[in-house]
Amino acid sequence: MKKPILYIVIPCYNEEEVLPLTSGMFLDKIHQLVAADKISDNSRVLFVNDGSKDKTWEIICDLAKKDEHFLGIAQSRNRGHQAAVLAGLMEAKAKCDITISIDCDGQDDIHAMDKMVDAYLDGCEVVYGVRSKRNTDTFFKRFTAEGFYKLLAAMGVEVVFNHADYRLISSRVLKEFANYKEVNLYLRGMVPLVGFKSTSVYYERHERLAGESHYPLKKMLALAFDGITSLSVKPIRMVFFAGLFIMMLSFIGIIWAVVAAFMGKSVAGWASLACIVCFMGGVQALFLGVIGEYIGKIYLEVKGRPRYIISDRTWEDEDD
């Protein structure tokens, strides 16, 4: 059997401190897998520069000059982690048989790649890397992240628990995945939708080797929000049922008010009225907010703007 070509896809944003440390590790991994006769020597490490403001792109270009196993593409500006991974995967899919996406900071154990490739050779088309322990994450990060997975599951979004964006995807699956055109990207929720045989491998998550996280709470919350609203319409449905429930309550309230009036028991009920008005006002504002969030998403989807724009490559493109 022909040995598969592997592309390791690595998004990089302001990573000049870690890249010199981790690039060698990725290259070694390719060499090891080639030596173990599992993948072809045409396998590559593909860096995606996500509009970094530091020397990241220069480092990538240097690496590409020194060793043919290194390739790089650059996004025309910073578009976020998800778009960077997508750009890399779409770029790689025509050139290889399997891709593995991984962060460039060395937090995810690269030795899990052996198990991923084995699973592929056994017939799996998608292999999820799952964190077995989160000891090195702060309690806060662990707590928020795990709570978020549970919330997603409750909202009916199919996700693999404790799986981030470390995964193997075959190019066969990527060709189908390319038809998922949404601009609101939440890759880890979208990949399971494509189907095909999949499995998980477990690994321990380490500390960042250098530099600092580019996922502050604000970006994490934004990703969480995108994850729910771009993959699930449950919140809108919940709004509908809550609205129905509140309508029934007000109906009872109206009957009560009319009956009380006929029985001559009505007093100057300012307090109860004020409460009801405030409550209804609040509920309506909240519901409009949820619906507005979806309309905003529809607006972005309808425009159908490109999800990524590649401005540079470390190699000459044959088509140009």
Binding site for ligand UDP (CB under 6 A): 11-13, 15, 50, 78, 80-81, 84, 103-105, 107, 213-215
107 binds Mg ion, rule: CB under 5 A:
yes
CB closer to ligand UDP, 30 vs 83: 83
CB closer to ligand UDP, 53 vs 150: 53
105 binds Mg ion, rule: CB under 5 A:
yes
109 binds Mg ion, rule: CB under 5 A:
no
Judged by CB under 5 A, the number of residues near Mg ion is: 3
Question: In a 10 Å sphere around its CB, with 0-12 CB exposed, 13-18 middle and 19+ buried, how is residue 102 labelled?
Answer: buried
What distance in Å separates the CA atoms of residue 207 and residue 217, rounded to the nearest whole number?
18
Element (H, E) at 199: strand 198-204
* Residue 112, number of CB atoms within 10 A of its CB: 22
One-letter amino acid of 71: L
Minimum CB distance to ligand UDP, residue 306 (Å) = 17
Q: What's the Cα-to-Cα distance from 297 to each of 27, 176, 230, rounded to whole Å? A: 40, 23, 7
CB closer to ligand UDP, 82 vs 170: 82
List b or e across 276-296, with b for residues whose CB sees 16 or more CB atoms inside 10 angstroms.
eeeeeeeeeeebeeeeebeee
One-letter amino acid of 242: A
CB closer to ligand UDP, 140 vs 262: 140
* Residues at the site binding Mg ion, with contacts judged by CB under 5 A: 103, 105, 107
